[in-house]
Amino acid sequence: MPVESTALLTDQYELTMLTAALSDGSAQRRCTFEVFTRRLPNGRRFGVAAGLGRLIPAIRDFRFAAEELDRLRAEGVIDDRAAGYLAEYRFTGDISGYAEGEPYFGYSPILSVTGSFAEAVVLETLILSVLNHDCAIAAAAARMVVAAGDRPIIEMGSRRTHEQAAVACARAAYLVGFQATSNLAAGSRYGITTTGTAAHAFTLLHDSEQAAFAAQVAALGVTTTLLVDTYDISRGIENAIAVAGPGLGAIRIDSGDLAVMAHQSRAQLDRLGATGTRIVVSGDLDEYAIAALAAAPVDTYGAGTAVVTGSGAPTAGLVYKLVEVQGRPVAKRSENKASIGGAKLGYRRHRASGTATEELVMRQQAGFEPAGGDRLLSVPVLREGELVAQPTLQDSREHHRAAMTALPWEALKLSAGEPGLTVSFD
């Protein structure tokens, strides 16, 4: 069934709360909700804020059509008063948060939503759906980028997830440093470089491997990448160079012991005079597999399944909690699910060298400027429903690169351990 509007990407209980709050007069109380995680997923030392560039347009387009409201009213989900309110719904509040690409940690206030209870509560599911997905993908992809060092990674996970999630995954991976994607929709929507050559099916289609390679080279030129592991990798390399010559752009290996195959392939290519032919490896690569290939003569990685599944952490564990009502801090005190009251902002301290040492969270203060060497993390996004600023994806990509450079080396370890920075309350 096609999605009718972003407004229906929600849970019914939000409309139940709205209906009750409109009935008792509490709906217009000014409130602040915050998005944060109490703890990072197991094994992670940092998270990455991602998805804001997708979320803000979705919030601004959060509208209920007349036929949708008629159906909700007929089904008893809302009453006439709620239907009238939602018919005119526009978010007119304030949103601030961590910039896309910014690393975060437990209790970092990565998004703050302030407005009437009515206009803020109905956004919970939309906000968490976008951010939990994109932050999880970005964190997994960022760890792969760290493991890859200076070697580029191509995102190629579209066939392993929902068709629309694939586009969001490509965006999140590119945000944190992937070089390209195989997904054409992501290329069109976000200006990400796309790439792709051929699968094993193309080789199997032809009467011989050489015939398949010849057809691909004829169509795409000798700078193309030939997939050489359909039958036998050594013979595949021989056939590839016989067809394309020593100027072949690259070979791709998608199976077997990739480290062993990369060493053997490099030696064979060099013997055949193809010293400039690059080696691309793929095949269920995650950050650990990429790190294990650091000493192998690999030029480019292709990562798919581990990207779109968040490399084992498919959600960031973010929550959306009410922290302030009419200027009064409120907090949930449930065991293991406590929240901290009051609208907050985050800033980060650094050594003179530029290395981050600590993240501090404090109550929001108008006009607050951190001391020299400290960096404010919470930035305005919407004010009274109007866009303040929305960086381009390229801007956010550069922001992520700079922010990751400032993290201490302990934060970048792939092994399980404590979060890379301590979050303290100032």
Alpha carbons 166 and 161: distance in angstroms, whole number? 6
Which residues are within 8 A (CB) of 13 and not within 5 positions of it... i.e. 6 or more apart? none
Query: What is the DSSP pairing of strand 30-36 with strand 94-98?
Result: unpaired
3-class DSSP state of 36: strand
Contact between 29 and 85 under an 8 Å Cβ cutoff? The reply is no
pLDDT-derived band at 234 (thresholds 50, 70, 90) equals very high
Which residues are within 8 A (CB) of 192 and not within 5 positions of it... i.e. 6 or more apart? 170, 171, 174, 180, 181, 183, 186, 393
3-class DSSP state of 180: strand
- Measured over the CA atoms of residue 347, residue 349, residue 352 and residue 354, the dihedral's sign is negative
Alpha carbons 48 and 10: distance in angstroms, whole number? 24
| Model pLDDT for residues 264-321, shown as the tens digit of each residue | 999 999 999 999 999 999 999 999 999 999 999 999 999 999 999 999 999 999 999 9
Q: What pLDDT score was predicted for residue 272?
A: 98
| Model pLDDT for residues 93-107, shown as the tens digit of each residue | 999 999 999 999 999
| Model pLDDT for residues 241-252, shown as the tens digit of each residue | 999 999 999 999
pLDDT-derived band at 367 (thresholds 50, 70, 90) equals confident
3-class DSSP state of 422: coil
Q: What pLDDT score was predicted for residue 4?
A: 52
Cα distances (angstroms) measured from residue 219 to each of 210, 250, 280: 14, 15, 20
Residue length, the chain? 426
- Measured over the CA atoms of residue 12, residue 75, residue 117 and residue 51, the dihedral's sign is positive
Check whether 3 has a pLDDT greater than 60.
no
pLDDT-derived band at 1 (thresholds 50, 70, 90) equals very low
Averaged pLDDT for residues 336-361: 93
| Model pLDDT for residues 374-418, shown as the tens digit of each residue | 999 999 999 999 999 889 999 999 999 999 999 999 999 999 999
Check whether 335 has a pLDDT greater than 80.
no
Q: What pLDDT score was predicted for residue 314?
A: 92
Round the average pLDDT of the chain to a whole number and report it.
95
DSSP, res 333: -
Q: Which residues pair with 235 in a beta bridge?
A: none
- For 227-256, the DSSP string reads E--SS-HHHHHHHHHHHH-TT--EEEE-SS
Q: What pLDDT score was predicted for residue 5?
A: 75
Check whether 2 has a pLDDT greater than 50.
no
Query: Both tokens of residue 413?
Result: 């370890």
pLDDT-derived band at 44 (thresholds 50, 70, 90) equals very high
Cα distances (angstroms) measured from residue 406 to each of 89, 103, 349, 350: 41, 10, 10, 8
Quick one: which of 281, 342, 373, 276 has its CA closest to 32? 342
DSSP, res 296: S
Q: Which residues pair with 360 in a beta bridge?
A: 347, 424
3-class DSSP state of 357: strand
Contact between 54 and 142 under an 8 Å Cβ cutoff? The reply is no
Averaged pLDDT for residues 174-201: 97
Check whether 63 has a pLDDT greater than 50.
yes
Averaged pLDDT for residues 354-359: 96
Averaged pLDDT for residues 211-236: 98
Alpha carbons 146 and 120: distance in angstroms, whole number? 37
Q: Which domains does the chain have, with CATH numbers?
A: 6-137+313-425 (3.20.140.10), 197-298 (3.20.20.70)
Contact between 308 and 157 under an 8 Å Cβ cutoff? The reply is yes
Give the CA dihedral 283, 289, 295, 296, nearest 10 degrees: -10
What share of the chain in percent tops pLDDT 90? Answer: 93
Alpha carbons 333 and 416: distance in angstroms, whole number? 29
Q: Phi and psi of 312, rounded to 5°?
A: 90, -5
Quick one: which of 164, 69, 62 has its CA closest to 113? 62
**Helix, strand, coil % in the chain, rounded to nearest 5:** 40, 20, 40
